[in-house]
Amino acid sequence: MLKTLKNAWKVIEIRKKLLFTLFVILLFRLGNAVPVPFIDTQLLGAYFNQNLSGTILGLYNVMSGSAFSYGTVFALSIQPYINASIIIQLLTIAIPALERLSKEGGEEGKKKIENITRYTTIGIALLQAYGYYVILSTNQLMSKTGVWPAIVIVATLVAGSTLVMWMGEQLTEFGIGNGISIILFAGIIARVPNTVISMVNTLINAESWKVYVIYPLMIIGALAMIVLIVIVTNAERRIPVMYSKRVVGRKVYGGQSTHLPLKVNMSGVLPVIFASSIASLPATVGMFFGKTSKSAGGWGTFLKLFDQTSVLYMVLYFLLIIFFSYFYSTIQFNPIEVSNNLKKNGGYIPGFRPGKPTSDFIAKVLNKVTLFGAIYLAIIALVPLIVGAISETAHSSGISIGGTSLIIVVGVALETVRGLEAQLIMRNYKGFLE
């Protein structure tokens, strides 16, 4: 990887893209340090650590680089755009007009879909910004109340989210690509120094020898998870495909053999994000009523059942990850459509007749691959939760969503290296992946 970066730096065009990417990341980090007017950031930080870290807002906080808990301009970060993209992607399948626009509209249709996504992002940002303001006003986390502070807070958060979306698009066009992923990557990595400092302080002030055993095991476990993520991210099931020979005029076409690749982890980290959102719903609802798992009465008992360290939460989390993995792979990959395309182009899978037998075989293989990928995602997501439930020290270190962060960080890093490799190969450089 370092050799790839070194070779990329020698190419003037890629060097400019790298510098532009670093500049945008710097602006993103500066925006994360600018507080929103009328918010008491100290009270907000204390309230967040006590009540919100176990909710879906905790995941938002990680992806925003802790900007959500600090009440800064980029508190909403890239989350509204991610939510809008997922919603439009699902609506594209459900609404025939959007489906025709995405498949048959060409470049113009793609631009219209992008514009719809942008407007949806602003709408979602407005809703999230208002919800953010409700949390602030209800829990007296503002230095001043009234209509004007409400307008300023909501407008600032929406403008910040829109600016982050624009920065991501600029990175995709003028940077090294994958702008949204790069910003997400930068937000998660920004939390690493604070996590390291917290671990060092815990080691220095440790009163039990168990801490000196737990932290090395946590580091070794994190490295093992990174290796597993790299292996599974690059893994794929290759279905052999043959193309029949056909004569067109005086030329012979076809006759070659190739393969149909099925990624083991086709859905990426989205099933984990969806599952985390739904599994954290009870804690999120309780937060709006000012209740936690430590509250007395029925609310406290109910929320304890769905606490991140409870067995019920982990079982529900596991089942939701499996469900959303199958759901998203079904959306992304249509065996019938693939079978029809193979048939139109004279392709076939050896041992299976074109048409329904081929689609049935592809669906069978897809189900097996998806199950393996879903179990892998569940393991990566649940291991930090189990460790946090066993060890109070690990739980206090905030590793409950470490698996999700690792999948995102490693996936974006691999994708970025591949992009640099592709540009280097075009310029006759020997790349890292060869």
DSSP 325-351: HHHHHHHH--HHHHHHHHHHTTEE-TT
Distance CA 237, CA 247 (A): 32
Angle (nearest 5°) at CA 274 between 273 and 276: 65
Amino acid residing at 423: Q
Region 27-40 average pLDDT: 89
Q: CB-based contacts of 410: which residues, under 8 Å, 6+ apart?
A: 226, 229, 230, 233
Regarding the domain delimited by 202-400, which CATH topology (the fold level of the hierarchy) does it fall under?
A: Preprotein translocase SecY subunit (1.10.3370)
Would you say residue 429 has pLDDT above 60?
no
Question: Which runs of E-coded beta strand occur in 154-280?
Answer: 236-243, 246-248, 251-253, 257-263
pLDDT band (50, 70, 90) for residue 293: low
Cα-based distances in Å from 348 to 260, 261, 327: 11, 14, 27
pLDDT band (50, 70, 90) for residue 13: confident
Would you say residue 397 has pLDDT above 60?
no
Q: Which CATH class is domain 1-190+430-434?
A: mainly alpha
Amino acid residing at 411: G
Q: Do domains 1-190+430-434 and 202-400 have the same CATH topology?
A: yes
Would you say residue 396 has pLDDT above 60?
no
pLDDT band (50, 70, 90) for residue 433: very low
For residue 417, give both structure tokens: 């290296």
Per-residue model confidence (pLDDT) at position 196:
78
Region 107-129 average pLDDT: 88
Mean pLDDT score of the chain: 81
Residue 111, Cβ neighbours under 10 Å: how many? 11
Region 82-102 average pLDDT: 81
180 in Cβ contact with 168 (< 8 Å): yes
pLDDT band (50, 70, 90) for residue 55: low
Region 32-42 average pLDDT: 88
Over pLDDT 90: what percentage of the chain?
10
210-234 and 402-426 helices, crossing angle to 10°? 40
Per-residue model confidence (pLDDT) at position 307:
76
Q: Where are the domains of the chain?
A: 1-190+430-434, 202-400
Region 133-147 average pLDDT: 84
Region 218-235 average pLDDT: 83
58 in Cβ contact with 184 (< 8 Å): no
- Interval 352-390: pLDDT, tens: 888 888 889 999 999 999 998 889 888 888 887 777 666
Q: 1 or 257: whose pLDDT is higher?
A: 257
Task: Give the rounded distance of the alpha carbon of 28 from its chain centre.
Answer: 18
Q: 237 or 202: whose pLDDT is higher?
A: 237
- Interval 166-182: pLDDT, tens: 998 898 888 887 788 88
Alpha helices in 96-146 (DSSP H): 96-104, 106-138
Distance CA 119, CA 109 (A): 16
For residue 171, give both structure tokens: 């990175």
Would you say residue 399 has pLDDT above 60?
no
Q: 323 or 99: whose pLDDT is higher?
A: 323
Q: CB-based contacts of 265: which residues, under 8 Å, 6+ apart?
A: 232, 233, 235, 373, 376, 377
Per-residue model confidence (pLDDT) at position 253:
59
Region 183-192 average pLDDT: 84
Per-residue model confidence (pLDDT) at position 250:
65
